[in-house]
Amino acid sequence: MAKMRIEVLSHEEMETIFAGALTVLEGTGVKVYSEEACRLLAEAGCQVEDHLVKIPEAVVRKAIESAPSCIDIYNREGELAMQLSGHNSYFGPGVTCPYFFDPVTMERKPATKKNVVDVAKVADALKNVDFLMSLCMVGDETPELADLHEVHAMIQNSTKPILSWAFTKENLSDIIDMCAEAVGGMDCLRAKPNLIMYAEPTTPLVHTKEAVEKLMLLARKGIPAVYSPGMTLGGTTPITIAGALTVGLSEGLTGVVISQLVNPGAPIITSANAGALDMSTLQAAYGSPEMCLEDAAATQIYRWLGIPTFGLAGATDAKVIDAQAIAEVTMEIIFSLGSGANLVHDLGMMDIGMTGSIHLLTICDEIVGMARRLSEGVIVDEDRMAAEMIHEVGPGGNFIVQEHTVKYLRSVLFRPELATRAIYDAWQKDGGKTMQDKAYEKVQRILSEHKPKPLEQSKKEKIDAILARAEARLGRGKN
């Protein structure tokens, strides 16, 4: 069990922020643009007038009690892959980047479906990447179905769980159907979900018809949902972290309430991710210490409430893989792991979320490995203290040939693959390769040699048919 803990709020501070969110929900209210959701909220005892919903504290607390505190996520083969609870942290790429650094030429280009295929293959091979996201937004297929094409590419090129998004409720239904076919049917997907779907409110305090309809559909089908705001400190929320947390918590808890009214016990994940608005550029910054603090605080509050959390790490505002990029992603990864965020996305995102990098994803994989070793802390027991062996070796001896060293060599020492520990002359003789050089080589090796477990042909054909059905719905099917 991880020992590293980062706590940024006292218990009293958590209670204060939670109380503030309850006051906002019951006093200020939130806008909910779904007639069905408004009806359910009114029946539960909320005040509803012209889509403004005021939610009493008792309704919120009942929903929190109903929501599961642990969500089991499986891989495509039906094997348990993630347990979203407590301090368990799992990492994966991001999504939505319209540009991508070409895996071979490193040229920044508009993202394509082939890029998603490559991301899935590389992520499938990286041991510290636990789930998939597309790391880009497909730009060379039917635009309205880019979300379907992303899942279509990912599910065929990795067995790891998928976290994705959907543009519309219809597209969401198609994505669910695709993932159900891949695992043997809807009953199998519901029992052992390998799919998590993302929807988000519009900060401040607005829940659009599209977002709420997707949330309700996921709740009905029992598919895990992420419902978490993407906020901007000083833009869409107060500039203070405490103020942003109050807004974000109000929005996330509204999603929890709606999901539990639709289906008590429906699996839901939330948080309150926020970037700092840089007033000199008017851009929301990923690589800011304020984002780390805000996410850690939200994680701490939701864990206290017993709801799995959505984290953010591995994203940089840098335009190339440089010192800024490594500093920012390392800070985020350590903070996310230390705070215990459960489902941590955005590894490999660059350029303020505009460009995906499979090479940065590969570097993040190694940094996550380092951070996980840090989180293990120091185990103290009789065998590890090795008092008897120390006595036998005595003053002036060495421990390199001892059985104890061999026994623990692989389990207690982190062995980097991309970082170098050679002396200067040996490093220079090997080509003087940087971490980025080694990441590039590793990506090429994975893409040429790694063979993800393929889908059965019959399942692939059914998934292809769902995609074709969606294309036909838009009048763009093949003749």
Helix (H, G, I), strand (E, B) or coil at 71: strand
Cis peptide before 204 (omega within 30 of 0): yes
H or E segment to which residue 233 belongs: strand 230-233
Section 88-105 average pLDDT: 97
The predicted-structure confidence for 343-384, as pLDDT tens digits, reads as follows: 999 999 999 999 999 999 999 999 999 999 999 999 999 999
For residues 342 and 226, what is the distance between their CA atoms, to the nearest angstrom?
11
Tell me: pLDDT of 2 over 90. Answer: no
How far, in whole angstroms, is CA 13 from its chain's centroid?
26
Section 217-244 average pLDDT: 96
H or E segment to which residue 253 belongs: helix 241-262
pLDDT band at 320 (very low <50, low <70, confident <90, very high): very high
Query: In sequence order, what are the residues at sequence separation of 6 or more whose Cβ sits closer than 8 angstroms to the Cβ of residue 251?
Result: 30, 201, 203, 204, 205, 207, 229, 272
Provide the pLDDT for residue 71.
98
Provide the mean pLDDT of the chain: 96
Tell me: pLDDT of 54 over 60. Answer: yes
Encoded amino acid at 48, one letter:
V
Query: In sequence order, what are the residues at sequence separation of 6 or more whose Cβ sits closer than 8 angstroms to the Cβ of residue 82?
Result: 72, 73, 88, 90, 130, 131, 161, 342, 343
- Using a 10 angstrom Cβ sphere, with 0-12 exposed, 13-18 middle and 19 or more buried, the burial of residue 77 is exposed
Contact, 309 vs 95, CB < 8 A?
Answer: no
Provide the pLDDT for residue 477.
60
Ordered domains of the chain (ranges, CATH): 65-376 (3.20.20.480), 382-412 (no CATH)
| Percentage of residues in the chain having pLDDT higher than 70 | 99
Provide the pairing of β-strand 195-199 with 162-165. Answer: parallel
Three-point CA angle 379, 380, 382, nearest 5°: 130
Helical spans, DSSP H, in 3-108 = 11-23, 35-43, 57-66
Section 280-285 average pLDDT: 86
Tell me: pLDDT of 19 over 70. Answer: yes
Provide the pLDDT for residue 272.
94
pLDDT band at 479 (very low <50, low <70, confident <90, very high): very low
**Residues comprising the chain, all counted:** 479
Provide the pLDDT for residue 3.
80
Least reliable range by pLDDT among 6-15, 120-129, 277-286, 403-412: 277-286
Section 148-166 average pLDDT: 98
pLDDT band at 282 (very low <50, low <70, confident <90, very high): confident
Helix then strand then coil, in percent of the chain rounded to 5, is 50, 15, 35
* First-to-last C-alpha distance (Å) of the chain: 56
Closest CA to 349 of 185, 165, 169, 111: 111
Tell me: pLDDT of 478 over 70. Answer: no
DSSP states of 414-471: ---SSS--S-HHHHHHTT---HHHHHHHHHHHHHHH--PPPPPHHHHHHHHHHHHHHH
Provide the pLDDT for residue 475.
84
Provide the pLDDT for residue 219.
98
Helical spans, DSSP H, in 163-240 = 169-183, 186-191, 209-221
230 backbone dihedrals φ, ψ, rounded to 5°: -115, 100
Closest CA to 346 of 154, 129, 200: 129
Query: Within 13 Å of residue 88, how many CA atoms lie on the same side as its CB?
Result: 14
Q: What would the two tokens of residue 7 be?
A: 């706590």
